[in-house]
Structure 1
Amino acid sequence: MIAAEELYAHLMACRIAGQVATPRENNLRNYSRFARRDPGVMFGLDPEGSWDEAEVLELMARRCGVSADPEHRHGQDTIDPDLTVRALDRLAGIVADTAARRGAVLLGTGHPRPLGGFYADLGDALGAAGCAVLTPAHNSPFLMHFPDGARSCALGYVRRTAVLRVYEEAPPNGAPRSGADGGPGPGALSEPVHTHSPQPVRFALAALADGGDPRPDLVLGDHGWACGAGRLGVRAAGLADSNDPGVFVAEAEGDVELAVPLDDGVRPECYGLLSAYVLQQAGMSQ
């Protein structure tokens, strides 16, 4: 049995919450970028509110636990572990509701190395509960925009959690190829990459529609996965760091049902207790 106090101590010890690694300068820079509607931090959103820098800071202080002092410009910033635990309790309710209805679920992450295991744990439990864990457009190519230009990409799945992979060279007709020795050749896919873009979830949802399949009942993801799905009217929830105001704005405006505040870049094994706690609170411990 994982008590809330044990989880709280774990969050602090791993710096998932409390005094986190993301510096104050990084947080404020991204709040300013969001206020300017910089596409790099919008995650596909088109907010209804004005969301100037002061409003973003107020929201992040209230929902994430960063310092509310606008004069605090440098150094340490924080995520409130109480807010993290409460949000994980709410996430457990969403997961339990989806399991009870045997809803279809799409999992995806832009931080595959640290967060992939967290989502995969939830997906395994949802699958065991009778939910369809969807894997649309597996290895199907699509063109995605990066700061340095467009590149041919594909969705891969790690324990049924979608991750973005990039073709080393654009393959003919979208088909990956191997070299003569059986190793990777032109058109081989990269390892999963880091992205905040909403394009992968849009591509996954479009593939479902093209195949005549219904939308998922829930998208669990972060960054562009949560915001991109929520913006299209799909129930969405997931994880968000203190420098990712877009997910919290999406929650405030009703596009995303839940943003769980935490540092999204610590060691992968640190998130295992969080997924175990969510499943415990959902009555789905395996």
Structure 2
Amino acid sequence: MVAVGALRDHLLRARLAGTVATAREVSLRSYRAFAARDPRVLIGIDPQRPWAPRDLIELMADRCGVSADPRHTSGQDVIDPERTLAALDAFAERLAGVARRRGSVLFGTGHPHRLLGFYAALADALSAAGCAVLTPAQGHRVDILTQFGLRTHNLDYVRGVALIREGGAERPGGAPGAHTHSPLPVRLALAAAAEAGGSLPDLVIGDHGWVCGAGQLGFEAIGLADTDDPALFVGQAEGSVAVVVPLDDGVRAASYRPLARYVLNRACLSQ
């Protein structure tokens, strides 16, 4: 069991919250790109209304605790640990809900090197509770436009968590794959599940395009997001994303283990 005070201390010590590694300049650049509707930053969300950079700064100040001053243009971003803790509690409530009804769950990450272990712990616990952890479109090809051009990837699952690998780069089931913000993998997975006539997820859990892409299609979606990923918070503000936990999504993988223990305990899913 992880106590709230101990977890707050861990968030600050690991720089998951408090002063984080994400630079203010990077976040502001993302807000400008989102306001211009750059699909690389929308990552699957189709905003219902215009969002100016100032609107996004105000939203992120409210949801994350970053500076609300648009004149603050340099230095490191700050995440309020109290907002992170409150969002983790809401995240745990969604886990508990899907576990009670033994629903179907789809996990996916664009940060496999950092967050795979966090999601895998949740997948193990939900599976033990009687939930179906879905793995549609295993091995299917997905072409994603990157800064280096169009790249061919394959959809894979590791411990029930979807990720993408560059075509032929790694054997299935091996080490974590590629970093991506794209919503294309979740669209592929959901389309394959629908075409197969099997279960569709009652809950999608992940980050980046996995959350935004699923939420935009009407699926209940929850996940984690850094201060330079405004799309998830816009989705939450507009009602297409259920829960977003503000934290640094690029620290050491081991630093997320206490968070997994905390939410599983709050959801009464500790094994």
TM-score normalised by L of structure 1:
0.91
Q: List per-residue Cα deviations over 1:254-279 (Å, max 9, x = no partner).
A: 11001100000000000000000000
Distance 1:7 1:191, change over 3 A: closer
Distance 2:176 2:117 in 1: 16
The CA deviation at 1:144 is 2.6
Counterpart in the other structure of 1:16: 16
Counterpart in the other structure of 1:42: 42
Counterpart in the other structure of 1:201: 186
* SS of the residue 1:225 aligns to: helix
Distance 2:142 2:26 in 1: 31
Distance 1:284 1:104 in 2: 16
Distance 2:175 2:111 in 1: 15
Is residue 2:160 matched to residue 1:160? yes
Contact 2:112 2:176 in 1 (8 A): no
Counterpart in the other structure of 1:229: 214
- Residue type of the partner of 1:45? I
* SS of the residue 1:77 aligns to: strand
Contact 2:104 2:131 in 1 (8 A): yes
What's the % identity of the aligned pairs? Answer: 55
Is residue 2:131 matched to residue 1:117? no
- Residue type of the partner of 1:205? L
Higher strand share: 2
Counterpart in the other structure of 2:195: 210
* SS of the residue 2:133 aligns to: coil
Q: List per-residue Cα deviations over 1:102-145 (Å, max 9, x = no partner).
A: 00000000000111111111110000000000011111223332
The CA deviation at 1:191 is 5.2
Consecutive aligned runs of 4 or more in structure 1 exceeding 3 Å deviation: none
The CA deviation at 1:156 is 1.1
* SS of the residue 1:22 aligns to: strand
The CA deviation at 1:148 is 3.0
Is residue 2:225 matched to residue 1:240? yes
Residue correspondence of structure 1 range 121-200 to structure 2 within 5 A = 121-168=121-168, 192-200=177-185
Counterpart in the other structure of 1:179: none
Distance 2:21 2:126 in 1: 32
- Residue type of the partner of 2:265? Q
Distance 2:92 2:99 in 1: 10
Gaps of 5+ in 2: none
Contact 2:30 2:229 in 1 (8 A): yes
Residue correspondence of structure 1 range 247-262 to structure 2 within 5 A = 247-262=232-247
Distance 1:12 1:87 in 2: 16
Is residue 2:65 matched to residue 1:65? yes
Distance 1:21 1:77, change over 3 A: same
- Residue type of the partner of 1:35? A
Is residue 2:251 matched to residue 1:266? yes
Distance 2:147 2:77 in 1: 28
Larger mean CA deviation between 208-217 and 268-277 belongs to: 208-217
